[in-house]
Copies of this chain bind each other. A is one copy, B any other.
């Protein structure tokens, strides 16, 4: 869907996921600190719901790409011509995210699936998106090519970061990094929509102007800065909320009182040495 909506929709999808993660991971982090339990049932149910919603979103994405009026309607090859390969490629991207969502659900539902598989499949999904984008943007005007290729930094960076989570699972720094890249991807899709398909009758961008490309490069950095600020703000809000709840209610909600003596967390995570 090479129009404004076709970029606004995935943009919103990634933005929602990123914003949700920027609340979920701080919540999980403070909870774990307090209770020293790895994964309680409440949290597990939340993860399953999240994965289900992500799967649902992806399926909607596939259906949208296939059954928009000018879509391929599940026809791939017709009269010696490939049908709407662009839509098929987008469907493939959504399909991988659907698979990633399903694997996430299964990992929490079925106990004999090894942890880490969910992260691996997620990394593969993100990589596939980048992989398809990489071969996607040849033979386009310079600005179009450049603005899409910047996305690859977020995608391959995210894929590498999620791969690391296979080994360093539940590392809050990696989780927040992933969150920030998801938000970046979301806002950048919106930016692409605004630049390539100006929605409110604003004038077209000159696709060959070197200054435009230079601005877009810098603009990408600003987007990431905004993503960092959003993650930081939500992290702080979650902390404030939890500490207020604790003051008013019981002392079991979060484990902030233990934070001070706990700065060896990362090393301990790495070694898995349980403090018995």
Contacts and interface: CB of A to CB of B under 8 A. Distances in A.
Contacts of A269: 267
Main secondary structure of the interface of A (DSSP, over half): helix
B169 A115 contact: no
A266 B116 contact: yes
A84 to B, nearest CB: 10
B114 A169 contact: no
A117 interface: yes
A225 B116 contact: no
Interface residues of A, number: 69
B112 A259 contact: yes
Contacts of A38: 263-264
A197 interface: no
A166 B273 CA distance: 19
A168 interface: yes
Contact of A111 (B95, B225, B260): B260
Interface of A: 29-30, 38-39, 81-82, 85, 88-89, 92, 95-96, 99, 111-117, 120-121, 124, 128, 131-132, 135, 139, 153, 166-169, 171-174, 176-177, 210-215, 217-218, 221-222, 224-225, 228, 235, 239, 256, 259-260, 263-274
7 contacts: A92-B222, A114-B172, A115-B265, A120-B173, A120-B177, A135-B214, A270-B270
